[in-house]
Structure 1
Amino acid sequence: MRSGYDLSRMIDAPLRHTTRSLVRLIKSIATDTTFAAPSALRAAQQLHSHVRKVGLLSNEFISSALISVCSAIGFVDIARQLFDEIPDAGLVARTAMVRAYVTVDQPAEALQLFRATVLSGLSPDPIALATAISACCQLGSLSMVKMIHGYIIGSGIVIDPFVSTQLIKAYGNHGKLDICRHLFDEMPVKTLVTWNTIIHQCLKHGAIELARGIFAEMPERDVVSWNTLMSGCSQVGRCREAFALFHEMELSSEKPNKLTLYIVLSACASMGALDTGMWLHAYLGRSGLNSDGSLDHCLIDMYAKCGSIEKALQVFEGARVRSLYSWTSIICGLAMHGQADHALHLFFQMLEVGIQPDDVTLVGVLNACAHGGLVDQGYRFFSFMEEMYGLEPKIEHYGCMIDLLGRVGRLKEAYNMISRMPMRPNAVLWGTMLSACKVHKNVELGKVVAMELIELDPSDPWPRLMLSKIYAEVSDWGSFMKLRKEMNAVGLRKTPGCSSIEVNGEVHEFLAGDSLHSQIEEIIVLLENIEAQMQVT
């Protein structure tokens, strides 16, 4: 027997083992990586047979360990058979079986057994309650969450931090942030996990200021706390706040981990903050956090999105191990920079070394074809996705094909492809099509596409604005003025454009028509000087 135990000797003299040693032996089957699942199952069944033989099956700690092991290695049906053999199964064994169902994502069966446990007269402990609430989260049933919560209140059970945290998560999954906050505020004792959970739920539902306020109140923080808030800021476009949090974290006792750097590098990519990204690249080298190269794809993506495809290639070429993510990042980056031939060359090189592409890789390949005007190659990749790579085209892949056909002026083909899609086209796809209609001055098709977009979101001024530009391109001033009057009548206004630039490590944001920048006067003077020099030359 592996893991330091001799199974045959245990079988010969099972009574020499204490309950603790037997439980430890049983659990070692699931944790020993040298066991394949069938071998682990045979070992578990062998132990079960001898536990039954010596009359220890009624020991709930031993039987519960057997149930947990069987479910952990993927045999929940056998775990249930073991459970059914237990005479007068108590709370420990029942909770183990409920947890087993949760482990294999069978929440309905878990809740059915929990209900039977309560009806049998057993009073669930915090572990049983938290496990049942986890099953509610899997099932997505708010009514079941409320029933269990109501049972807890009605039974007078004192809710411990573990159960309260699970309730916060469960209610948060259904958007009930007010209940989450109430539960949190009423907790006399809050664990670090509880603090992190409420912050996550606030960010999940867009309450970023509330999350920041709770974060500021935390008596202690771990790396999860920092990462959660940084990620939340980054995802809503508040990347400068993510950078500030990272620097604040550096000054704290908590050290960044790989996820921290992933979040901040992604923020750099979103903001185009090349200088900060280069500093982070150097930081990775000093800290050793990228010693295994697992963050190479983040660096490649950051450099490509910040405009430095040369540095992205340097990272890729210097990588000791090239994962699928690294290959995908460089292919997508080259496609973004219009280097279609190089992107496809690397794609074929990736296939040669035996790495299979995923959905995102094929998006990069199709984007390369679009930017390079490679219609035949694009059709070939798109057509063979499922046959050659086992990938069913998603809406993103259709979007790439619409972009490709639109760029080369094959608008009817693009529209027909949209019409034959197995899924409903979204606003991004129709928007790509409308932009192509503008480029190629196709008024009739532009009207049809614009109406599709207006139907999706009547309050969005963009399709009407684009259509008016198409009218202007073909000098149809009557239709142009009519559409502009219609926009003014219903009060539609274009959302101001926003751009950002990094100067000396600081990211500056500019909004169209905005004059709030602290150096706006100097900027205006500089722009006027540039304009004057351009007129002279």
Structure 2
Amino acid sequence: MLSSFATKYLKSSHRSLSLLDQQGLSMTQILQIQSQLIVSGTISDPFAAGKIIAFCATSEHGDLSHACHLFRLLPHRTTFIWNTMIRAFAEKNESTRAISLYRQMLESGFLPNNYTFSFLLRACADLSDFTLGLISHAQIIRMGWEAYDFVQNGLIHLYASCNCMDMARKLFDMSLNRDVITWTAVINGYTKSGQVAIARQLFDQMPEKNAVSWSAMITGYVQIGSFKEALELFNDMQLAGFQPNHAGIVGALTACAFLGALDQGRWIHAYVDRNKMNLDRVLGTALIDMYAKCGCIEMARRVFDEMSLRDVFAFTSLISGLANHSQSASAMELFMRMQNEGVEPNEVTFICILSACSRMGLVEEGLRIFESMNKVYGIEPGAEHYGSLVDLLGRAGMLEEAKKMVREMPMEPDSYVLGALLNACRVHGDVELGKETIEWLVEQSLDHGGVHVLLSNMYASANQWGNVAKVRKGMEEKKVRKVPGCSLIEVDGVVREFVAGDRSHVFREDILLLLLGIDKNLKSSWFDDDYTMVEQIYL
């Protein structure tokens, strides 16, 4: 029979363990329960220790470092405790530690089970570790865990993350119990590998969809530049009754930015505010980029100021927007603030700030910033940085210096660099240097239609009409065509695209009749009596 003292502590231990099942516990309360378990000696029981570790490692209010401390002190561990720690590291994107712990588990003589492999595969996928994934797959087959749904889903996700879609598809086709996670894993793999058409076929066949599968398709369209399709799918998602998640919203905002769909972007911003979504660095940067590219630079500033945490991408996005909105002085100030706050610029930041220097004519400042890339930040300038510097020198009329920069740059000049030099030649009327630049472009097979048009305009500015005719004739002989102009307009949340010379619009005849009616009522000195506006448009 137990003594009254032992009975008292046994009851206390049971009471402490039962408290662990309550919701909303804090770490302070967990530490108090742990103290009682230590006093009673119950902490040595793997079940009790496992419950404490599970809370600390996986709960929203837990403390993973404390879980690690307890784990190291435990004299006896169970497979459940090993799995809990591996899961915690995998879920907190500490995949290397999760894999290391798995190896320690094997060395300690514990056999993994289906739960172990589901967490391990997640870590392998996060690191795109194909070799370890293959080894794990072999162990799974040998131990007989391959038939479990979440193990199959983990394998599909792993191979998709490693861009091995043949393996992922083979497992998908073999799966007998496909759930929404299975479908989404293979769709996500196809979108990430750029095979969006196949992903869309599978998406349309899905018996059941969720917000994650919708977002995977939206993101896939954005990745290949099909922004119109991305927005259409985003709207379809809501019509189907699904609430867009974080990834779907970021994808839709990116599409809005490239299409200039301001109304749609504003609606998404209102949705974010209405649902009290956290304005984290990814979402905040997407909003800044959308407003900046849609012409609302003040709203972009406001979003930037509302962000509690700002990284290099948020700063760079706003610096780019300010520079593109002729607010180069503000861009320079933000660049200084960025450095003062300890946020280090990246390659894109330097392209944006050099562009701002170019617009303001700050040659010395631009050269100083260019030199600081390598000396201060250890970033090796690329072709685009040299192109920005050539543009800076060219705008300032320093054509010889710009030409010298092109000659001495450590890599072959590309179309971006030579295009900046050619544009400077056009602005300052240096026809000979322009011809020399064109020859460079021809040698590298970079003489696209826009280059020839630029050369033609340069000759026209210098009143060299004979050379203009030669360039135009050369374009005809080479069958070089200028890329047709394209414009987008948003009407009632739908983005409409117009391309110069396009005659495929379903209402083309009605549009032409309307233009003819307008033309009859216009009196302009721009056209002769027999040279109508409609003829000018369709030449």
Instruction: Give the alignment's TM-score, normalised by structure 1.
Output: 0.70
The aligned residue for residue 17 of structure 1 is: 13
The aligned residue for residue 253 of structure 2 is: 265
For residues 94 and 41 of structure 2, the distance between their equivalents in structure 1, rounded to whole angstroms, comes to 32
Q: Which amino acid aligns with 1:535?
A: F
Q: CA deviation at 1:427?
A: 6.2
The aligned residue for residue 192 of structure 2 is: 204
Note if contact 2:322-2:331 (Cα within 8 Å) is conserved in structure 1: yes
For residues 133 and 513 of structure 2, the distance between their equivalents in structure 1, rounded to whole angstroms, comes to 62
Note if contact 1:405-1:413 (Cα within 8 Å) is conserved in structure 2: yes
For residues 108 and 259 of structure 2, the distance between their equivalents in structure 1, rounded to whole angstroms, comes to 58
Q: Which amino acid aligns with 1:82?
A: R
| Among candidates 177, 191, 201, match of residue 189 of structure 1 | 177
For residues 300 and 471 of structure 2, the distance between their equivalents in structure 1, rounded to whole angstroms, comes to 50
Note if contact 2:125-2:162 (Cα within 8 Å) is conserved in structure 1: no
Q: Which amino acid aligns with 1:150?
A: A
Taking structure 1 as reference, are residues 404 and 132 closer, same or farther at Cα in structure 2, changes over 3 Å only? same
Note if contact 1:358-1:391 (Cα within 8 Å) is conserved in structure 2: no
1:348-401 per-position Cα deviation (integer Å, ceiling 9, x unaligned): 6x579969575466654433222233323333444557899x685764655543
The aligned residue for residue 46 of structure 2 is: 59
For residues 149 and 359 of structure 2, the distance between their equivalents in structure 1, rounded to whole angstroms, comes to 54
Taking structure 1 as reference, are residues 371 and 127 closer, same or farther at Cα in structure 2, changes over 3 Å only? same
The aligned residue for residue 72 of structure 2 is: 82
Note if contact 2:357-2:366 (Cα within 8 Å) is conserved in structure 1: yes
Q: CA deviation at 1:96?
A: 4.6
Note if contact 1:382-1:393 (Cα within 8 Å) is conserved in structure 2: no
Partner of 2:527, secondary structure, is helix
| Among candidates 430, 440, 451, match of residue 466 of structure 1 | 451
Gaps of 5+ in 1: 1-11
For residues 60 and 419 of structure 1, the distance between their equivalents in structure 2, rounded to whole angstroms, comes to 72
Q: CA deviation at 1:204?
A: 1.0
Q: CA deviation at 1:336?
A: 0.9
The aligned residue for residue 527 of structure 2 is: 535
The aligned residue for residue 363 of structure 2 is: 375
2:300 counterpart of 1:321: no
Partner of 1:515, secondary structure, is coil
The aligned residue for residue 7 of structure 1 is: none
The aligned residue for residue 3 of structure 2 is: none
For residues 193 and 104 of structure 1, the distance between their equivalents in structure 2, rounded to whole angstroms, comes to 20
Partner of 1:535, secondary structure, is coil
Taking structure 1 as reference, are residues 278 and 59 closer, same or farther at Cα in structure 2, changes over 3 Å only? closer
Note if contact 1:366-1:378 (Cα within 8 Å) is conserved in structure 2: yes
Partner of 2:489, secondary structure, is strand
For residues 423 and 155 of structure 2, the distance between their equivalents in structure 1, rounded to whole angstroms, comes to 47
For residues 503 and 28 of structure 1, the distance between their equivalents in structure 2, rounded to whole angstroms, comes to 48
For residues 16 and 426 of structure 1, the distance between their equivalents in structure 2, rounded to whole angstroms, comes to 76
Taking structure 1 as reference, are residues 479 and 138 closer, same or farther at Cα in structure 2, changes over 3 Å only? farther
Higher gyration radius (CA): 2
Taking structure 1 as reference, are residues 415 and 70 closer, same or farther at Cα in structure 2, changes over 3 Å only? farther
Note if contact 2:146-2:152 (Cα within 8 Å) is conserved in structure 1: no
Partner of 1:509, secondary structure, is strand
For residues 100 and 340 of structure 2, the distance between their equivalents in structure 1, rounded to whole angstroms, comes to 49
The aligned residue for residue 128 of structure 1 is: 116
2:131 counterpart of 1:143: yes
| Among candidates 408, 423, 426, match of residue 396 of structure 2 | 408
Partner of 1:254, secondary structure, is coil
Percent of aligned pairs sharing the same letter: 29
Q: Which amino acid aligns with 1:253?
A: G
Pairing of 1:106-505 with structure 2 (within 5 A): 111=99, 114=102, 123-257=111-245, 259-278=247-266, 280=268, 287=274, 289=276, 298-299=286-287, 301-306=289-294, 308-309=295-296, 312-313=297-298, 316=301, 321=306, 324=310, 329-344=317-332, 358-359=345-346, 363-383=351-371, 392=379, 395=382, 399-411=387-399, 413-414=401-402, 428=416, 432-433=420-421, 435-436=423-424, 441=431, 442-443=433-434, 446=437, 450=441, 454=444, 462=448, 466=451, 470=455, 473=458, 498-505=486-493
Q: CA deviation at 1:260?
A: 4.2
Note if contact 2:13-2:40 (Cα within 8 Å) is conserved in structure 1: no
* Equivalent residue pairs, number: 499
Note if contact 1:67-1:80 (Cα within 8 Å) is conserved in structure 2: no
Q: CA deviation at 1:171?
A: 0.8
1:275-319 per-position Cα deviation (integer Å, ceiling 9, x unaligned): 44455566667x45579799676555434323x34xx32564698
Note if contact 1:340-1:372 (Cα within 8 Å) is conserved in structure 2: yes
Taking structure 1 as reference, are residues 126 and 485 closer, same or farther at Cα in structure 2, changes over 3 Å only? same
Q: CA deviation at 1:70?
A: 8.2
Note if contact 2:95-2:127 (Cα within 8 Å) is conserved in structure 1: yes
Note if contact 1:438-1:466 (Cα within 8 Å) is conserved in structure 2: no
The aligned residue for residue 4 of structure 1 is: none
For residues 131 and 343 of structure 2, the distance between their equivalents in structure 1, rounded to whole angstroms, comes to 43
For residues 387 and 224 of structure 1, the distance between their equivalents in structure 2, rounded to whole angstroms, comes to 44
Q: Which amino acid aligns with 2:527?
A: Q
Q: Which amino acid aligns with 1:182?
A: K
